[in-house]
């Protein structure tokens, strides 16, 4: 009887201390706040269980139009590290960080990535005296700059991006550096495999058919890296209203060339795509994921799946 009592007591303390260590492990996790879902995925790949990551813009949401709430400012204020994309993707971020009172570091994940000009060869863009495009007037104070911020659509870029994130996390939490770097190393080989997959897939499309039409101009880096031409009726931000002349020039282009499909996006209003489809009689493909991942259990729940899904969606139509 006494023995049983002691076994019970021992078991009881075991359970209590186990729960306590679980709770303290959770409390010890570093709090990383990021602007959007692709960064959220990268931080959880590198940080594993040692990090708690919060994305300000939710999955499937358009970050060009995002309005931060007071609750989100509070989350920023208690962060151990803040990570953003930069290159004008999150025009609201600096103001939010400042207003929150957060005193830590804000890391820009696109540092050291070769910059790509916002390519636009449509004739409705006037240049100012300095040769800068004046197209961004109607961004209402928000603005993508002259560089394309959607760098993650090139896997070689992503290798720099992820390294920037892993190094910043190691500086934030030096005791976990070995752990983060081990995760980084494994992920780099996943990225190499992804890159091979994309090149193989694109090579299976006849060269003259490597043309894709989407809603907003998010895919410049994909185009630049892998040689698929991407055209969009909207400008670089989803906020820019498409101009009639631009739509007309895309319609002309489609009629002249062998464009096989239009692709809507998960984050944008796709009425323009429908309008162009009607005028040209070409079919509308499945939605591409552009500036946001899908929900975790969706087809583009991680960055790796996001890229695979987009490429498979494009290849299936163009092949």
Token pair of 181, please?
A: 């770097």
Check binding of 265 to Zn ion (CB under 5 A).
no
Taking contact as CB under 5 A, which single stretch among the options 23-31, 122-130, 162-170, 283-291 is the one that binds Zn ion?
283-291
153 lines the binding site for Zn ion (CB under 5 A): no
Q: Write down the least CB distance from residue 163 to Zn ion, Å.
A: 23
Rule CB under 5 A: say whether 291 interacts with Zn ion: yes
Is 68 or 91 the residue whose CB approaches Zn ion more closely?
91
Q: Which range touches Zn ion (CB under 5 A), out of 6-14, 68-76, 247-255, 291-299?
A: 291-299
Nearer to Zn ion by Cβ, of 148 and 173: the residue is 148
Distances (CA, A) of 189 to 110, 155, 301: 20, 11, 19
CB of 65 to Zn ion, least distance (A): 10
- The answer to whether residue 218 forms part of the interface with Zn ion (CB under 5 A) is yes
Q: Please choose, out of 214-222, 225-233, 241-249, 255-263, the segment that lies near Zn ion by the rule CB under 5 A.
A: 214-222
Residues numbered 107 to 126 that lie near Zn ion (CB under 5 A) are none
Nearer to Zn ion, 173 or 291 (CB): 291
41 binds Zn ion (CB under 5 A): no
Rounded to a whole number of angstroms, the minimum distance from the CB of residue 268 to Zn ion is 9
Q: Provide, rounded to whole angstroms, the least separation between the CB of residue 73 and Zn ion.
A: 23
Stretch that binds Zn ion, among 159-167, 183-191, 196-204, 289-297 (CB under 5 A): 289-297
Among 68-76, 117-125, 190-198, 286-294, which window interacts with Zn ion (CB under 5 A)?
286-294
Contacts with Zn ion by CB under 5 A: the residue count is: 2
Give least dist CB 150 to Zn ion, A.
Answer: 6
Measured from the CB atom, the residue of 142 and 177 that comes closer to Zn ion is 142
Give 162 or 267: the residue with its C-beta nearer to Zn ion. 267
DSSP-derived secondary structure for the chain:
-HHHHHHHHHHHHHHHHHHHHHHHHHHHSEEEEESSHHHHHHHHHHHGGGEEEEESSPTT--GGG----HHHHHHHHT-SEEEE--TTS-TTHHHHHHHHT--S-EEETTTTSPP-B-----TTPPB-TTS-B-GGGGGTT----SB---GGGSHHHHHHHHHHHHHHHHHH-GGGHHHHHHHHHHHHHHHHHHHHHHHHHHHTS-GGG-EEEESSS--HHHHHHH--EEE-SS-SSTTSPPPHHHHHHHHHHHHHTT--EEE-BSSS--HHHHHHHHHHT-EE-PPBP-SS---TTSTTSSHHHHHHHHHHHHHHHH-
Contact residues for Zn ion, defined by CB under 5 A: 218, 291
């Amino acid at each position: 009887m006494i023995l049983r009592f002691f076994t019970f007591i021992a078991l009881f303390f075991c359970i209590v201390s186990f729960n306590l260590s679980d709770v303290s492990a959770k409390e010890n996790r570093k709090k990383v706040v990021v602007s959007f879902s692709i960064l959220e995925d990268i931080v959880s790949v590198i940080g594993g269980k040692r990090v708690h990551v919060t994305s300000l813009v939710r999955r499937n949401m358009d970050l060009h139009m995002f309005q931060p709430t007071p609750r989100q400012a509070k989350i920023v204020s208690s962060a151990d590290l803040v990570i953003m994309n930069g290159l004008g993707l999150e025009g609201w971020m600096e103001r939010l960080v400042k207003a929150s009172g957060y005193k830590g570091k804000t890391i820009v994940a696109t540092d050291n990535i070769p910059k790509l000009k916002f390519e636009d060869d449509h004739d409705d863009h006037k240049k100012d005296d300095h040769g800068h495009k004046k197209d961004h007037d109607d961004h209402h104070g928000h603005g993508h700059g002259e560089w394309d911020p959607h760098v993650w659509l090139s896997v070689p870029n992503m290798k720099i991006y992820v390294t920037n994130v892993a190094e910043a996390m190691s500086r934030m939490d030096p005791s976990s550096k070995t752990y983060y770097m081990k995760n980084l190393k494994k992920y780099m080989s996943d990225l190499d495999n992804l890159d091979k997959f994309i090149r193989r897939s694109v090579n299976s499309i006849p060269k003259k058919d490597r043309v894709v039409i989407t809603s907003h101009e998010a895919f410049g880096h994909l185009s630049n890296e892998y040689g698929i031409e991407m055209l969009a009726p909207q400008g670089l931000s989803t906020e820019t209203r498409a101009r009639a002349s631009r739509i007309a020039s895309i319609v002309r282009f489609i009629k002249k060339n062998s464009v096989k499909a239009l692709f809507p996006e998960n984050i944008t209003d796709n009425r323009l795509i429908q309008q162009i489809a009607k005028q040209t009689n070409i079919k509308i493909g499945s939605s591409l994921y552009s500036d946001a991942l899908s929900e975790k259990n969706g087809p583009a729940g991680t960055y790796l799946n996001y890229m695979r899904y987009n490429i498979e969606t494009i290849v299936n139509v163009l092949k």
